[in-house]
Amino acid sequence: MSGPRITLSRLKKMAADKERIAVLTAYDAMFARTAELAGVEVLLIGDSLGMVLQGKESTVPVTTAEIAYHTECVARGSQTAFIMADMPFMTYNDTAMACRDAATLMRAGAHMVKLEGTGWLADVIAQLSRQGVPVCAHLGLTPQSVHKFGGYKVQGKTAEAAEIMLKDAYALVDAGADMLLLECVPPDLARRITESVAVPVVGIGAGADTDAQVLVMHDMLGLGERKPAKFVRNFMNGSESIQQAIERYVQAVKDGSFPAAEHCFAAVESGH
């Protein structure tokens, strides 16, 4: 990929034009450049670095300083991709803290920050938006809350839970969120949300009908000893190089062949 830097306006137009967007995590300059040359439009400095780089059991211990360091590395290696950085656990429980830490990440090179939560994030997102910080709101399975959830579990499975998530999505977009990310939610719910909000929606384990797909780079390269999540596909299988594997991931996102049915969870359960 070459040309001008991808902007939020470009991503919104791609979503409006039904042009699927490829998102991938990156944590350093070399992989950032490799990914964007393979066609990745959005690079995410995920707090997943706590697990895949630092060997920790969850994302909870990751700090803003660590995310900022890796954001700087990615920004140095990137020429065209849109850069999104995770705000770590408990760094946005009040607006003052959120603005301070978001400023740190934006100064490090991020073009957008990502926050995990539900409707309670509205005030924080509104303040960040007023300060000129683009925000992606992460709904569904939010890994920073893994201890509260009691593990990595599918969210929004019942009709009642689906309606709550839909209302949360509306509230966060109304508050100023410029993008949504849905993780581990039934495809029919992800489709409803995607069709009913005016911002790009990124999916991971959320079916093929979102505007964009994201995977952790290490997962899509088949690295690690843990059993891969249901929504992961190993693109190194059949590839001759890492760049070819990423190119195949991008192509599969673009043509809609990923995620396939085997990467999706069950539909929303009807309730009484």
Q: Judge whether 219 is annotated as a binding position.
A: no
Q: What span, in angstroms and rounded, lies between the C-alpha atoms of 214 and 220?
A: 10
State how far the Cα of 12 lies from the Cα of 94, in Å rounded to an integer.
Answer: 28
**114 close to 106: Cβ distance less than 8 angstroms:** no
Does the annotation list 178 as a binding residue? no
Q: Where are the alpha helices (DSSP H) in 119-184?
A: 122-130, 146-149, 159-175
Q: Residue 116 annotated as binding? A: yes
One-letter amino acid of 85: A
The verdict on whether residue 123 carries a ligand-binding annotation is no
CA distance 239 to 63: 34
Of 15, 42, 48, the C-alpha closest to 173 is 15
Q: Of residues 36, 41, 66, 183, which has the active-site annotation?
A: 183
| H or E element that contains 25 | strand 21-25
Q: For residue 71, is it left (φ>0), alpha (ψ between -120 and 50) or beta?
A: alpha
Q: Reply yes or no on whether 183 is catalytic.
A: yes
168 marked as part of a ligand binding site: no
Pick out the residues of the known binding site for Mg(2+).
47, 86, 116
Pick out the residues of the known binding site for 3-methyl-2-oxobutanoate.
47-48, 86, 114
Active site residues: 183
Pick out the residues of the known binding site.
47-48, 86, 114, 116
